[in-house]
């Protein structure tokens, strides 16, 4: 048995017309949508950068970055698009944690005969 379809409310009709009007207006202006998802670890740096350089909304930052990238010559674009890793230093504390985990792993799963195990150098 087919269910009766419920008529949209006046508010739903109003909102649909509003969305359709905005879509038509955006199309006339040549506005496109490009979704950007940013890892949470970057958000504090992004907010700091925006504040330092006078940006109010994230979209301004993305648009400026894209304009600068597109306007650059090929070599500069390649440099801008290259993945840059942030250097990091393994602290003594982290090094000891890694070493302890490795030794535990060796104790839990002893090496096979013929495997070479180099003991850590004590300083």
Identify the three-state secondary structure at position 31: coil
* pLDDT, position 40: 84
Q: Is 53 left (phi over 0), alpha (psi -120 to 50) or beta?
A: alpha
What percentage of the chain carries pLDDT values higher than 90? 32
CB atoms under 10 Å from CB of 46, counted, come to 14
Q: How confident is the model at residue 70 (pLDDT cuts 50, 70, 90)?
A: very high
Q: How confident is the model at residue 123 (pLDDT cuts 50, 70, 90)?
A: low
Contact 8, 16 (CB under 8 A): yes
Backbone φ, ψ for residue 100 (5° rounding): -65, -40
CA-to-CA distance for 53 and 61, rounded, in angstroms? 10
Contact 18, 24 (CB under 8 A): no
Contact 58, 46 (CB under 8 A): yes
* pLDDT, position 93: 93
Identify the three-state secondary structure at position 112: coil
With 70 as the cut, is the pLDDT of residue 2 above it? no
Identify the three-state secondary structure at position 72: coil
Provide the whole-model pTM.
0.46
More confident residue, 40 or 72: 72
* pLDDT, position 78: 94
């Amino acid at each position: 048995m087919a269910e009766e379809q419920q008529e949209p409310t006046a508010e739903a009709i109003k909102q649909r017309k509003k969305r359709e009007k905005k879509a038509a207006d955006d199309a006339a202006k040549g506005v496109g949508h490009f979704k950007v998802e940013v890892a949470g670890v970057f958000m504090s740096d992004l907010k700091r950068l925006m504040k330092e350089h006078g940006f109010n909304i994230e979209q301004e930052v993305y648009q400026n970055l894209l304009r600068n990238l597109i306007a650059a010559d090929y070599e500069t674009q390649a440099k801008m698009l290259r993945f840059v890793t942030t250097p990091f230093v393994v602290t003594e504390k982290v090094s000891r944690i890694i070493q302890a985990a490795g030794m535990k792993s060796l104790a839990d799963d002893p090496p096979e005969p013929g495997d070479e195990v180099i003991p850590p150098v004590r300083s």
